[in-house]
Amino acid sequence: MGPTELEKALMPFERKLRAQKRLRRLLGVREVDSPTYERYILGPVRRFDSRKNAFAAMMDGNPFGQAFREMYRRRTGVDSFSKPLPQEELDPSDRPAQALANAAWRLCREYYPGALPITPPQGRFETRDRAGMSKLIKKVAMWLGAEMVKITRVDQRWVYSDREVPEKYAVLVVVSHDRGLNRTAPSHLSGLAVGNTYSRLKFITTQLADFIQGLGYRAVYRETLGWNPEMLIVPMAIDAGVGEFSRTGRVLSPEFGTNMRIKAVSTDLPLETDRPISFGTHEFCMACENCARYCPANAVSFGEPTDAPESMFNNPGYRKWYIRADRCLLFWMADRKKWITCGGKCISVCPWNKPLHPFHNLIRRLAIHSPAGVKKMLVRADILLYGRTVKVQK
Ligand code: SF4
Ligand code: SF4
């Protein structure tokens, strides 16, 4: 039987999937049996309470966040993050960017569609070809706008203790930020890049869930944003082979660095999973402290990973780079005329955040396979060439 019309229509994404595999082979990215975050785990993992997430703690009535909310109000004059000033209080040159940022965030913050009804068993699309089904899901997600799609089993350790995700698999969807906008962080424009990326992810993941429900299998769009999170997206994405854990607490992928956002659809659709990867992120982050050096809030840690959590918002039980989320959130409201979220200065200064150009791919390969001294030289060269600015002061 020849390819179906749908398969023909999705052929460009078949080619894209192949090209992504080829690039990882060229870079020398290894697939491994166990996720490399295991080096950071000190003992049995205790599931984390979603209400202790710093964003969630800012919500009125959250029992863990009262002291934090009071301090936040004292220090910033507002009771929560991302409160835009009225347009008339902005410099005219900043008004369009703030207006666009508000527009870009809206879909992500306000779009919570119920899923389409699941097709009953007699109409279910039956197949034993798990590999083929995984490929179809990835291509459909890419057609919807995803830039990378990976699949893993849901590890219950990474589901918040007060949430339930009973489905067996998670489809991890990746979209990168507009690099030009991100480079301006902190600004309304870098905030706009984040909001736009999350909104696109919301669109992709809700439609992907509808598609799978239409095939006759349960699929749920899973919220990963701070104020209503359901699962820890960082270890899930590492399990799926998106990338590895980095100094910023984010996933760093060989293709996008940390310049990406990730959301998930959990599903019962039988799928073939991807494997975690290893390409020396820990070693590179040991040679590079750009995110810590240029974070305007001193929220990213320098030096070696530590087993001392920085605040109640950190999940204890690991020796890793902990992030001071409270400092980060305070900075967001430090100059509301110019920004309403930092938009990721820590992302914009990461040497891995470069286009997928043959020259940068050569440097990527060198960064993966070179000794610590060469890694340090590459970071130094990146700072000089890209004219990293001095730290933004509050
Ligand atoms: S988003 Fe901004 S303030 Fe927050 S950790 Fe990154 S650089 Fe620091
Ligand atoms: S800026 Fe450097 S230290 Fe920070 S995540 Fe990127 S590579 Fe790692």
Domain boundaries, the chain: 10-385
Q: From CA 109, how far away is CA 55, in angstroms rounded? A: 13
Mean of the pLDDT values across residues 267-294? 97
Q: How far apart are CA 37 and CA 192, in angstroms?
A: 31
Distance CA 222, CA 340 (A): 25
Interval 213-241 mean pLDDT: 92
Q: How confident is the model at residue 1 (pLDDT cuts 50, 70, 90)?
A: low
Per-residue pLDDT, 389:
64
* Mean model confidence pLDDT for the chain: 94
Phi and psi angles of residue 264, each rounded to the nearest 5 degrees, phi first? -135, 155
Could you identify the atom of ligand 1 that is nearest to the CA of residue 291?
7
Half-sphere exposure of 327 (CA within 13 A, CB side): 15
Alpha carbon of 115 to those of 81, 107, 126, 167, 208: distances in Å? 29, 16, 21, 15, 10
User: Is a pLDDT exceeding 90 seen at residue 232?
Assistant: yes
Among the bound ligands, name the one nearest to the CA of residue 287. Answer: 2
Q: What pLDDT digit, counting tens, does each position of 362-375 carry? A: 999 999 999 999 99
Identify the burial level of 58 via C-beta atoms within 10 angstroms of its C-beta, where 0-12 means exposed, 13-18 middle and 19 or more buried. Answer: buried
Per-residue model confidence (pLDDT) at position 227: 73
Q: Please, which pLDDT band fits residue 314 given cuts at 50, 70 and 90?
A: confident
What tens digit of pLDDT does each residue of 64-104 get?
989 999 999 999 998 888 889 999 999 999 999 999 999 99
Task: Please report the pLDDT score of residue 390 as a whole number.
Answer: 60
Q: How far is the CA of 135 from the centre of ligand 2 (A)?
A: 31
Q: Is there an atom of ligand 1 within 6 Å of 346 CB?
A: yes
CA distances from 245 to 4, 107, 169, 220, 221 (A): 39, 29, 21, 26, 24
What's the rounded Cα separation, in Å, for the pair 217 and 21? 28
The backbone torsions φ and ψ at residue 88, rounded to the nearest 5 degrees and listed phi first, read -70, -15
Instruction: Give, using CA atoms, the residue closest to atom 8 of ligand 1.
Output: 295
Q: How far apart are the first and last CA of the chain?
A: 64
Higher pLDDT, 256 or 4: 256
Which neighbouring-strand residues pair with 278? 30
The long-range contacts involving 124-132, CB below 8 angstroms and separated by at least 24 positions, are 124/215, 124/216, 124/217, 125/215, 125/216, 130/270, 130/271, 130/272, 131/272
Please compute the mean of the pLDDT values over residues 153-172 and round it to a whole number.
Answer: 97
Atom 8 of ligand 2, residue of closest alpha carbon: 285
The C-alpha atoms of residue 52 and residue 66 are separated, in whole angstroms, by 11
CA distances from 383 to 157, 232, 246 (A): 38, 32, 19
d(CA 376, CA 389): 19
What are the Cα distances from residue 342, in Å, to 297, 332, 376, 392? 10, 5, 27, 11
Which atom of ligand 1 approaches the CA of 344 most closely? 1
pLDDT of residue 152: 98
Longest dimension (CA), the chain: 68
Residue type, 20: Q
Q: Is the pLDDT at 391 greater than 80, yes or no?
A: no
pLDDT above 60 (res 394): no
According to DSSP, residue 171 is labeled E
| Ligand 1 pocket, residue 295 CB under 6 Å | yes
Nearest to 189 by CA among 82, 259, 100: 100
Split at pLDDT 50, 70, 90, the class of 392 is: low
Residues with CB under 6 A from ligand 2: 246-248, 252, 258, 284-285, 288-291, 349-352
What are the angstrom distances between the C-alpha of 353 and each of 133, 187, 188, 259? Answer: 31, 18, 20, 6
Residues 308-320 have a mean pLDDT of: 83
Residue nearest atom 1 of ligand 2, based on CA coordinates: 350
387 pLDDT band (50/70/90 cuts)?
A: confident
Decide: helix, strand or coil at residue 237: helix
- In this predicted model, which residue has the larger pLDDT, 300 or 314? 300
pLDDT of residue 393: 57
pTM value is: 0.96
Reading the block at residue 117, the tokens are 């009804």
The band of 112, judged by pLDDT with boundaries at 50, 70 and 90, is confident
Give the pLDDT confidence score for residue 109 in this predicted structure: 87
Distance of CA 345 from the midpoint of ligand 1 (Å): 6
Helices (H), 216-269: 233-239
